[in-house]
Amino acid sequence: MTHATKAIYKLFLSDYVKVSKVSVEDMLYDELDILRFMDKIEVIDFHQTLEVNGIRFWCYTAGHVLGAAKFMVDIAGVRVLYTGDYSRKEDRHLRAADILQFSPDICIIESTYGVQLHQPRNVREKRFTDVIHSTISQGGCVLIPDEYWSNHPELHNIPIYYASPLAKRCMAVYQTYINSMNERICNQFANSNPFDFKHISTLKSIENFNDVGPSVVMASPNGLQSGLSRQLFETWCSDKKNACVIPGYVVEGTLAKTIINEPKEVTLMNGLTAPLNMQVHYISFSLMQILHRQVCS
């Protein structure tokens, strides 16, 4: 795997150990297992060619997420391209996927969205900002991209919180591999840290959250199955002036997937049911779960 993938992978594995609620006997692995496992991982640089038992392989940048790679495998002259998600469009921080120098004989590819047509990013961002204005008009709260924020000083007093210790640790990896970012981010990094979000405060737990007035909370996990995102959802879901924006792919069987279809009620963690009166918006971005809490009139 690539260097950046290995760094993030270790954080994800360690996070499982920290948040898992199963008994020690039922744990799939512990921290010691992770250390032994990480020592066995061999990393590869983009465009570096390696050979194992006569099989040659190298990888290309896939875009999509930091560290993502498309692997070309050459077996006796037959070239197989193996890749997960990739993006040929440069996003707000990552480069676009590399264009291959030649066509593979066989292509094995991720197909989660294989039959779906995505809206252009500018269309999705406009939908997002339209939700922002709709929320503001009702005395609500919003998440603002930097460029939008600077042009709307009337929004500067709305608090924004970031509630994901794992994502915070991953930010250090992004800063380490800044050369993997697009040209705009690399140029910005020469003068300031683009991953220092000056308008966003860290929220460690719901006990540290002053749930009064308008606010925006970006919380994990994105499936709303547990943790802070689930706690906030259960607190806010019955009020029609609150809103939940689901900004990316969610797994079947999770609460986030369920509420996209806007059922009349949801089952809480204690087994009771509650009416789902809050607004639910599905706007696909590669972000965490975003919860908007609007002001009660």
Q: For 215-241, what is the mean pLDDT? A: 85
Q: What is the pLDDT of residue 145?
A: 32
Residue 287 has pLDDT above 50, yes or no: no
Write down the mean pLDDT value for the chain.
82
State yes or no: pLDDT of 68 exceeds 90: yes
* Average pLDDT, integer, range 143-150: 45
What mean pLDDT comes out for the span 213-240?
Answer: 84
- For the segment 149-160, what is each residue's pLDDT rounded down to a tens digit? 556 666 677 778
Q: What is the dihedral of CA 275, 281, 287, 292, to 10 degrees?
A: -60
86 vs 24, which has greater pLDDT? Answer: 86
pLDDT tens, 91-124?
888 899 999 988 999 999 887 766 667 777 788 8
User: What is the percent of the chain with per-residue pLDDT over 90, rounded to a whole number?
Assistant: 33
Has residue 296 got a pLDDT over 70? Answer: no
Residue 75: the pLDDT is 96
**pTM, entire model:** 0.76
Distance CA 67, CA 51 (A): 21
The DSSP line for 65-134 is: STT-EEEEEEETTEEEEEESS--SS--SSBPPPPPPSS--SEEEE--TTTT--PPPHHHHHHHHHHHHHH
